[in-house]
Amino acid sequence: MLRYLTAGESHGQSLTSILEGMPAGLRINKTAINRELARRQSGYGRGKRMQIEHDTVQITSGLRRGLTLGSPITMTIKNKDWQNWKNESPITNPRPGHADLAGMLKYNQLDIRNILERSSARETAARVAVGAVAKNLLSKFGIEVTSCVCEIGGVDENKELMREKIDHAQKNGDSLGGIFEVTVKNVPVGLGSHVHWDRKLDGRLARCLMSIQGIKGVEIGLGFAVSKSPGSKVHDEITYDCNFERKTNNAGGIEGGISNGEDIVIRGAMKPIPTLKKALNSIDIITKKPVKAKVERSDVCAVYAASVVGEAVVAFEIANAMCEKFGGDSIKEMKRNYNSYMRAMRKI
């Protein structure tokens, strides 16, 4: 089983991830991880922080001569901007839509920076590093994870109109959300399980996407549209030509919590970023008087970045399901198990 932990604050010295359970013998390419980190920092609508930070990873454990050892992998991403924030004055005006107020109340804090530093989406850089390693593992089995942005602020498909929408929001001190889609190709039949609620693959994928900062909705395949059509128009009819196949993929590659061999298709809906230059009304947590919410340096739209993070967390969950299904302490053992399973499936 794979698992990971991230640590670090948005303007702390660094972000760290510890990834446990990777089989031994997997070659890790730092350049590929850095490429994913750069993708996360790109996209129309990103803020000025992206001009300061140029994320690169340092791997400090779990590798020797570029190969995994089977022990925990530690990856660190330095924050260049941390020196500028060490002596900041306390923040007492929470932003609507952010973790500021709920976190302050939960953890009994009087300085909201003690909450916002960890709740910031900057944490997702550590998750993208983890996802890059997971993608590396999946590539050994021909599995590919990609994403695209489907909608920005209610505009879909037309990239030029999406950019105009972002520009308009920026001029008005506002922010925009949107929808992204993650697709996983060449997934074998049989990942996940129907026998327990916490082993259902669709449930696990929904949870990982919902854990990304700002995500408020997830759908798989047709998603919410299935509620509007009869079963005859929703369910994917089955055919057979050397293998069991489906004429359509409305289920998004998962039936009964189990991968069915079709592409896995999952979408995430991201809310507009809570930090607005034209600040919303709030209440000072000390004086209890009306104030304007805190204005932090922020993006106007981060849906493009969220799609890259979506790839990373989905890749991790699929890699975890692969490790559970095919086991093995080394990549060679895991591939033997996988190849044996695939041969058996072809005989059914």
**Alpha helices (H) along 61-123:** 100-107, 113-119
How many CB atoms lie under 10 A from the CB of residue 303? 29
Distance CA 200, CA 191 (A): 9
State the helix-helix crossing angle for 30-41 and 124-139, rounded to 10 degrees.
130
* C-alpha neighbours within 13 Å on the C-beta side of residue 37: 26
Tell me the pairing of strands 258-259 and 254-255.
antiparallel
| Boundaries of every domain in the chain | 3-346
Spell out the CATH class of 3-346: alpha beta
pLDDT value at residue 29: 92
Distance CA 264, CA 202 (A): 9
Q: Are 301 and 273 in contact (CB under 8 A)?
A: yes
What are the beta bridge partners of residue 182? 147, 266
Per-residue pLDDT of the chain (348 residues; tens, 9 = 90+): 999 999 999 989 999 999 999 999 999 999 999 999 999 998 888 766 555 668 999 999 999 999 999 999 999 999 987 777 767 789 999 999 999 999 999 999 999 999 999 999 999 999 999 999 999 999 999 999 999 999 999 999 899 999 999 999 999 999 999 999 999 999 999 999 999 999 999 999 999 999 999 999 999 999 999 999 999 999 999 999 888 999 999 999 999 999 999 999 999 999 999 999 999 999 999 999 999 998 877 899 999 999 999 999 999 999 999 999 999 999 999 999 999 999 999 888
Closest by CA to 97, choosing from 239, 258, 272, 251, is: 272
Q: Are 6 and 17 in contact (CB under 8 A)?
A: yes
Q: By 3-state DSSP, what share of the chain in percent is helix, strand and coil, each rounded to 5?
A: 35, 25, 40
